[in-house]
Amino acid sequence: MTALPLSREAFEARLRQIGAERYHDRHPFHHRLHGGDCTPDEVRAWVVNRYYYQSRIPMKDAAFMSRVEDPALRRAWRSRIEDHDGADGREGGIARWLKLAEAVGLDPAYVASARGVMPATRFAVDAYVRFVREKTLLEAVASSLTELFAPRIHAERIEGLLRHYAFADDISMSYFRKRLDEAPKDVAFGLAWVLDHADTAEKQDAAAAALEFKTDVLWAQLDALWHGYVAPARIPPGAWRPGEGLRAQAA
Ligand SMILES: O=C(O)c1cc(C(=O)O)c2c(n1)C(=O)C(=O)c1cc(C(=O)O)[nH]c1-2
């Protein structure tokens, strides 16, 4: 006997439960960061590694769009690329992230080179891009739904960083402030699309598994960061080392 799909409401609740249990706002590295307990070098390591995630988001969205045959879906999706890359003289999220890099004392060109990114960060982030390129469109859209839970963490981060770190100001926090405006529209669209298209129990299971996979992508990045940079730090070969990639004044 084939299982019946959950109602729209029950399926949405199932997706939200995944966030409640597995989203990376629960990770100890985030508690440390937002609570003011990170050393300047731990913050720098986070900025260097998280840049790689940021830089790959528009690439995964372009990979997604390259597979979409419906112009309406492509039209709804394409602002995600512009939000990160910028458009028509408007600065995008990547440029704003590099302002944060500068504020924490890093050379933006070094960060943008991605030279200091840890292997585990690359593996996790590249796995996300590959997932979106290779899985069904439903799984690809579902994997973006961690953003349902992101506004909460961005608000928490703005507040925590402003309270605890001298580098935090309007300019260095602009990435997160802007995401508070941008993300809700994307996620409302993505959630409605998944609820509309996951119309069998099998598709609901696949969408839920995709969201879990994505929480793993995020969690694994923070595990790597903790292992690499929080004492006793075990920095992997080739990854950023304290003192490297600093901007001239901060060196
Ligand atoms: O700071 C965060 O915790 C966080 C998490 C996520 C996420 O949940 O994937 C994204 C972002 N930020 C973000 O800024 C962003 O642009 C973004 C795009 C996506 C995506 O999967 O398409 N996730 C996220």
Q: Angle, to 10 degrees, between the axis of helix 119-134 and the axis of helix 201-229?
A: 160
Placement of tokens 């602009």 in the chain: 174
Please give the number of the atom of ligand 1 that sits closest to the Cα of 93. Answer: 16
> According to the model, what pLDDT value does residue 155 have?
92
Closest Cα to atom 12, ligand 1: which residue? 150
Considering the entire predicted model, what is its pTM? 0.96
CATH superfamily of 8-229: Heme oxygenase-like (1.20.910.10)
Answer whether 44 contacts ligand 1 (Cβ < 6 A): no
Among the listed residues 123, 137, 176, the one whose alpha carbon sits nearest the alpha carbon of residue 154: 176
Closest Cα to atom 17, ligand 1: which residue? 147
> According to the model, what pLDDT value does residue 19 have?
97
Q: Is the pLDDT of residue 119 over 70?
A: yes
Among the listed residues 213, 92, 200, the one whose alpha carbon sits nearest the alpha carbon of residue 144: 213
> According to the model, what pLDDT value does residue 48 have?
98
Please give the number of the atom of ligand 1 that sits closest to the Cα of 175. Answer: 14
> According to the model, what pLDDT value does residue 1 have?
61
Closest Cα to atom 2, ligand 1: which residue? 150
Residue-wise pLDDT for 201-216, tens only, equals: 999 999 999 999 999 9
The predicted model gives 180-193 an average pLDDT of 95
Q: What residues does 124 pair with on adjacent strands?
A: none
Q: How far is the CA of 3 from the centre of ligand 1 (A)?
A: 33
Closest Cα to atom 4, ligand 1: which residue? 150
DSSP category for residue 146: G
Residue-wise pLDDT for 74-110, tens only, equals: 999 999 999 999 998 899 999 999 999 999 999 999 9
30 burial via Cβ count (<10 Å: 0-12, 13-18, 19+): buried
Q: Is the pLDDT of residue 243 over 80?
A: yes
CA angle in degrees (0–180, nearest 5) for 64-67-72: 85
Residue-wise pLDDT for 57-69, tens only, equals: 999 999 999 999 9
The predicted model gives 187-204 an average pLDDT of 98
Can you give the residue ranges of every domain in the chain? 8-229
Band of pLDDT at residue 249, cut at 50, 70 and 90: confident
Closest Cα to atom 10, ligand 1: which residue? 147
Are 48 and 245 contacting, i.e. CB atoms less than 8 angstroms apart?
yes
> According to the model, what pLDDT value does residue 2 have?
76
Q: How far is the CA of 247 from the centre of ligand 1 (A)?
A: 26
The predicted model gives 47-55 an average pLDDT of 98
Answer whether 215 contacts ligand 1 (Cβ < 6 A): no
User: Ligand 1: which of 146, 211, 212, 214 to mutate, judged by most atoms within 8 Å of the beta carbon?
Assistant: 146
Q: How far is the CA of 128 from the centre of ligand 1 (A)?
A: 12
Answer whether 147 contacts ligand 1 (Cβ < 6 A): yes
* Spacing of C-alpha 97 from chain mean position: 12
* CA separation for the pair 64, 146 (Å, rounded): 16
* CA separation for the pair 25, 21 (Å, rounded): 10
Q: How far is the CA of 220 from the centre of ligand 1 (A)?
A: 14
Q: Is the pLDDT of residue 247 over 90?
A: yes
Please give the number of the atom of ligand 1 that sits closest to the Cα of 50. Answer: 1
> According to the model, what pLDDT value does residue 213 have?
99
Average pLDDT, the chain: 96
Q: What is the token pair recorded at 172?
A: 């260095």
Query: Of all residues in the chain, what percent carry a pLDDT higher than 90?
Result: 96
Are 135 and 164 contacting, i.e. CB atoms less than 8 angstroms apart?
no
Of 2-6, 112-116, 142-146, minimum mean pLDDT range: 2-6
Answer whether 172 contacts ligand 1 (Cβ < 6 A): no
Query: Of all residues in the chain, what percent carry a pLDDT higher than 70?
Result: 99
> According to the model, what pLDDT value does residue 59 have?
98
